[in-house]
Structure 1
Amino acid sequence: MPLNIIVSTSSIIEGVNTCTKNIILWSNRISNSMLSFFTYRNIMGRTGRMFKYFVGEAFLLERPPEEEAVVLDLELQEEASLLLDEDEFANELSSDELSRIINFKNKMADLLGVKYSELKNIQELDASESSNLQRIAYAVLSNPSKFTNVNLLNAEYKYWESQLNNIFYSIKPTSLGAKYSDIIKVLLVIRNNWIKEIPEIITELEDFDLNIDDFFKIERL
């Protein structure tokens, strides 16, 4: 049931996704401290979200914080570091990190018989987890006949389900955060996202017992 009005503390900034058209911020403080410029902008960013209100308005009833430069300290995930260029980042990485990167790339090169630098030309590789890349290599090399029809993913969608099932259950990719079967169902439905509105897609997914939250979760994957 949709809510017309939500009264919230400043916890609204902690990644809460709401279909919000307007925000009224009646105080420029969190407890006894003034809002930082970053937090203020974060709260303002809660307006106009989630495909319902593309534009929203924010009303602040007190003086906004002074604008200031924002510097974010982003931590490099261990898994992602294996995909870095060890020469480019040699000065920023420890000897242990450099060793892990080189060992991973040598292992991939041994498996595939191709230099990792050549594989990097495939853009999708940079966005993949190293453990999943190795799973793909092992699965294909150990049973290549199972993947001879993978090109059917470029054919009509009626051929997709069997191929997607084969890929997921042969490779068993990790860290997806959803069941393989549900991901496949969403893939089969969102093939029409060029010609159908999101409400139509959600309605189709309901036939598979998937709701709007499932859709957005899997769509982000």
Structure 2
Amino acid sequence: AKMRDGHTEDVKQLKEALSHATGLLEASKVEIGECHAAQQHDAEVAEGRIRDGDSHAAALKQQLKSQSQNFESQAQKLKSQSQEIERLRAEHLKSQSELLKAKETAAEQRERELGELKSQLESQSEELKEEESQRREQEMQILGKEQEVSRLKAVISQLRNRKNLQSDEAEALVKDREGLKDQVRCLSLELEELRKSHSTVVEAASESSNTAAALQSLREDMKAH
């Protein structure tokens, strides 16, 4: 009987231990289920984050691609503008160079014309000095001729005023008077020729003066340019 009672006690203890172990196992299963659910939730959250990250990365990639294309477009536009600026600059420099060359050519032409006019002026100045000398000489000749004409006219006047002359003397005086008249006519012709020559000299001097004025005007024009 003691052995049976002992065996019953052992069975009872074993049942209690089994019940306790079963409780622990159930608690473990519940805990494992909760852990599995938490891991599943974490996995789903992680997958959602990964999907959001992939979407964000794709959006960033697309944005970067768009920005890259925009940058390339801007770079191409800037390159075109730079080429256009360079072309305009080259055309401007060419135009300025051609304009400067034309001005230099015009200046050289004016310088040559100025040199030619200067040479002409110097030549005319020498001619003018010579003509001035001739004019003075002719004026002296004219003055001498006029004095001679006046003297002859005075002699003729005296001859006309003389009275009571003898026939021979009168005839001689008439001949002398005719000769004097011839001399007066010759002197008058010479005087007229001298006056014409003098007028020509004066006109030449006037032309030389006009040439000098034109040269001065050209010099002022050259200074202005």
TM-score by length of 2: 0.16
Structure of greater relative contact order (alpha carbons < 8 Å, 6+ residues apart): 2
Point out the structure with max Rg over C-alpha: 2
Q: Which has the higher strand share?
A: 1
Q: Which has the higher helix share?
A: 2
TM-score by length of 1: 0.16
